[in-house]
Amino acid sequence: MIAVDTLIEARWVVPVLPKGVVLENYTVAVANGQIVALLPTEQARASYSAPERVVLERHALMPGLVNAHCHAAMSLMRGIADDLPLMTWLNEHIWPAEAALISPAYVADGVELAAAEMLLGGVTAVNDQYFFPDVAVEVYRRMGMRAAVGMIVLEFPTPYARDADEYLRRGLAMADSVNGDPLVHACFAPHAPYTVSDDSFRRVRTYADQLGVRVHIHVHETAFEVEDSRRVHNERPLARLKRLGFMGPDLTAVHMTQLTPAEIDDLARHRVVVAHCPESNLKLASGFCPVAQLLAAGVAVAIGTDGAASNNDLDMFGEMRSAALLAKGVSGDPSVMDAATALETATMGGARAIGLEDRIGSIEPGKRADLTAVDFGCLQLAPVFNPLSHLVYAVSRRDVSDVWVDGRARVRDRVLIGVDIDRLVSNAARWAVQAQAAIRARGAAS
């Protein structure tokens, strides 16, 4: 008998790769946080022993979902300003609220709230972009969640940094602190072409090449952004990023609702990853990412929630379903973004977006054991003809029963291990009182 740490037996295993495969009565063997075998349960029982054996008789076991774009700390701004276009939402509500509230304590509580929400919803990894990333790093470590934490860059002052020099200096210090960390790594996160200068972009490009890290940026989010770039820079934002050396396989381009056929071909040729945030784009009326054309061109697509201030949740199962349905509706083709493709974008696609496609995103021997179990034994999921279809079109995040990150159980029987949920809710309520006071004070001043 081969000794391992954990044997997870499931009624169905959906490994994602090979695409569209569903394995019945299979077992995943885990040792030292790594998947060492995927094999039929009877064979596993005869070949492996483990101190922990998890039996999931009515469940589907899948790779953990990867949230390819999120502002986690903004969970504390959930519902603070709704039903507004992007620039009004940012300029008149979000940025003033951030100026009044943002602090290390705020970020710590916001990221903790977001990480708890995501883990309970089957999300095991996130691509995060916000202020005080060093604080976010410590929270993700404590929560046992995998994260790519962005070194944010802007030109204007915030409570986090005064100018681009300080953003870069503080971000690079954070990157040094996570070197070799098993769960957390750094990426560059210049906010957007309209908030970052050419000079700062050039510096980011140089540092990213030196450190070998990815770049995560909002781009082509709205028609206004594109037209403003043409007015100010005499070129579209993607053309500007290409001129500055960013059109390449280390770029995760977020939103991408405004694309020409030539730009789509260019994205495919340069192997850019597109992070699609359907519900945030719908809510802000930013436009429709042309997912059908991107997939047809061979562009790698991932799925993100954006922040809870514009979504208003961090529900990747809901996001995956919205992405699939929206792609069909926009293209007029019901075969576009089928269930297998949608699940792949929310797992392997996200893994590509954070540069970990060789470590997570599918259930394969040699990869890390980032796993999510979904309980199919409930009324609203009966009967089960196709488990893969259920995961995309029928499942709720409340059906998630168990979650492992790097082989460590983080959710067991729908309970987040080692986290006081009542405390998180109480902290959020306390911050909401402060936010409301800041809004009232701003209204009085104006």
Query: pLDDT tens across 398-423, in order?
Result: 999 999 999 999 999 999 999 999 99
The torsion of the CA quartet 148, 303, 355, 262, rounded to 10 degrees, works out to -130
- Is residue 253 situated within a structural domain? yes
Site of tokens 């998180």: 424
Q: Are residues 33 and 172 in the same domain?
A: no
The CATH number given to whatever domain includes residue 49 is: 2.30.40.10
Q: Please indicate, yes or no, whether residues 259 and 340 belong to a single structural domain of this protein.
A: yes
Q: Is residue 365 part of a domain?
A: no
Residue 326 belongs to some domain of the structure: yes
Point out the domain boundary residue: 305, 324, 353: 353
Residue 440 domain flag: no
Q: Do both 343 and 400 map to the same domain?
A: no
Report, in this order, helix, strand and coil percent for the chain, each rounded to 5: 45, 25, 35
Beta-strand relationship, 6-13 and 23-31: antiparallel
Per residue of the chain (446 residues), what is the pLDDT tens digit? 999 999 999 999 999 999 999 999 999 999 999 999 999 999 999 999 999 999 999 999 999 999 999 999 999 999 988 888 888 888 888 888 888 889 999 999 999 999 999 999 999 999 999 999 999 999 999 999 999 999 999 999 999 999 999 999 999 999 999 999 999 999 999 999 999 999 999 999 999 999 999 999 999 999 999 999 999 999 999 999 999 999 999 999 999 999 999 999 999 999 999 999 999 999 999 999 999 999 999 999 999 999 999 999 999 999 999 999 999 999 999 999 999 999 999 999 999 999 999 999 999 999 999 999 999 999 999 999 999 999 999 999 999 999 999 999 999 999 999 999 999 999 999 999 988 887 777 666 65
**Domains held by the chain: number:** 2
In a domain, 426, yes or no: no
- C-beta atoms surrounding 159 within 10 Å: 16
- Residues 6 or more apart whose CB falls under 8 angstroms from that of 295 comprise 301, 336, 337, 341
147 and 160, same domain (yes or no): yes
CATH classification of the domain holding 283: 3.20.20.140
- Give the end of a domain, one of 353, 381, 400: 353
Looking at the fold, whether 220 and 298 belong to one and the same domain comes out as yes
Based on the domain organization, do 198 and 223 belong to the same domain? yes
Q: Are residues 58 and 193 in the same domain?
A: no
∠ CA 109-115-120, rounded to 5°: 130
Q: Are residues 313 and 276 in the same domain?
A: yes
Write the pLDDT tens digit of every residue in 335-351. 999 999 999 999 999 99
Whole-number pLDDT of residue 379? 97
Q: Give 99-134 as a DSSP string.
A: HHH-SHHHHHHHHHHHHHHHHHTTEEEEEE--S-HH
In a domain, 364, yes or no: no
Q: Report yes or no on 433 lying in a domain.
A: no
78 and 197 belong to one structural domain:
yes
Residue 236: closest CA among 280, 278, 266: 266
> Which of residues 353, 384, 404 is at a domain's end?
353
Say whether pTM exceeds 0.95: yes
Q: 425 in a domain, yes or no?
A: no
315 and 279 in a common domain: yes
User: What's the domain range around 334?
Assistant: 65-353
Q: 395-434 burial string, b = 16+ CB within 10 Å, else e?
A: bebebbbbbbbbbbbbbeeeebeebeeeebeebbeebeee
Q: Are residues 242 and 113 in the same domain?
A: yes
Same domain, residue pair 286 and 147: yes
